[in-house]
Amino acid sequence: MAARNVAMREAIRRALREEMHRDENVFVMGEEVAYWQGTHRVTRGFLEEFGERRVRDTPISEMAIGGAAVGAAMAGLRPVAEFMTINFAFLALDAIANHAAKVRYFFDGMFKVPLVYRAASGWGNQATASHSHAPEPIFAHFPGLYVGCPSNSLDAYGMLKASIRDDNPVLFTESIALYPKPSPMPEDLDEDYLIPIGKGDIKREGSDVTLVAYARGVDWALQAARQLARDGVEAEVLDLRWLRPLDMELVYKSFKKTNRCVIVEESLPMYSFGGEVAANLQENMFDYMDAPIKRVAAEDVPLPYSKDIELLALPNAQKVVDAVKEIL
């Protein structure tokens, strides 16, 4: 199948635009999504194409954005609400965690909440501490909500489409560092290309060690795998894609083969994706474990401004390689 490299930003934009054409109930709301053309240019051209009714600039009111999306979804619309960055979603944590995630449950199934919160996420670019996070695991804490975190353009396309079409609330994060990154998408891609919610993916096959990652962590894991291959170590790279539901079955299958695991994530190390995956592994795969499970995450510190120490705080491929070598 012929493929073309597409930046993740464009893949997301295309998925969203197609879904708005497909379903009149889908609309976008958020800060600067309309006249400004989207802070990250994901909604570029949407205002002209769909008009003010369906492309709604909001005030800087994250609590209202978070909650109005819940009400609109309960009433039958399918809002795609954008948080300019996930940092600002903290202001809406009550609406997300207490209402989007729980309304269906505490009314015992009376309402559906088919919404998507999109949020740009990630560390770096000297954005400094309060704008530089990958805190998506916080949101994965809450049953009732799904959390999707794509690592590449095609996944982003299929995952966002599934998120919009699914009847449950989804927090969908988009790594800022991956927005401009091109990756292959088939030229004759089906508009119904959906990636199942909760299904991870094997991004590279190998038999010596399992690298478990999501979003930007997949990049570091793949770079590390290439580096390790030069030393004759074949790493299997798993992209779990979703933090909730978490595709542990995929991890178990790989781990039974490799018996070793390093978890790679952009997020902070405590109460984290890495901790969750490792806990599940030791509970369920104890007999297959040949070495301690290692975690590579951001350093346990807020992110500083100055370039060199900022980079020091971030995970990278070398840190992954070093972790693998410790357990081989």
Which residues carry out catalysis? Answer: 62, 131
| Least spacing, CB of residue 257 vs other proteins, in Å | 16
Nearest to other proteins of 86, 113 (CB atom): 113
Nearest to other proteins of 143, 232 (CB atom): 143
Residue type (1 letter), 87: N
Left, alpha or beta for 128 (phi > 0: left; psi -120 to 50: alpha)? left
Strands in 242-244's sheet, in edge-to-edge order, are 55-57, 26-30, 78-83, 116-121, 170-175, 146-148, 242-244
Q: What is the distance between the alpha carbons of residues 79 and 26, in angstroms, rounded to a whole number?
A: 6
Left, alpha or beta for 77 (phi > 0: left; psi -120 to 50: alpha)? beta
State phi, psi for 148 to the nearest 5 degrees: -115, 140
| Least spacing, CB of residue 308 vs other proteins, in Å | 30
Q: Are the beta carbons of 145 and 96 closer than 8 angstroms?
A: yes
| Least spacing, CB of residue 64 vs other proteins, in Å | 4
| Least spacing, CB of residue 181 vs other proteins, in Å | 11
| Least spacing, CB of residue 6 vs other proteins, in Å | 12
| Least spacing, CB of residue 319 vs other proteins, in Å | 19
Nearest to other proteins of 17, 203 (CB atom): 203
Nearest to other proteins of 152, 210 (CB atom): 152
Q: Cα-Cα-Cα-Cα dihedral of 79, 80, 85, 88, to 10°?
A: 10
CB atoms within 10 A of CB 316: 16
Element (H, E) at 70: helix 62-74
Nearest to other proteins of 192, 300 (CB atom): 192
Tell me the sheet residues that pair with 238.
Answer: 202, 212
CB atoms within 10 A of CB 41: 15
Q: What is the distance between the alpha carbons of residues 150 and 224, in angstroms, rounded to a whole number?
A: 19
Nearest to other proteins of 198, 304 (CB atom): 198
Q: Which tokens go with 38?
A: 């989207």
Q: What is the distance between the alpha carbons of residues 204 and 225, in angstroms, rounded to a whole number?
A: 8
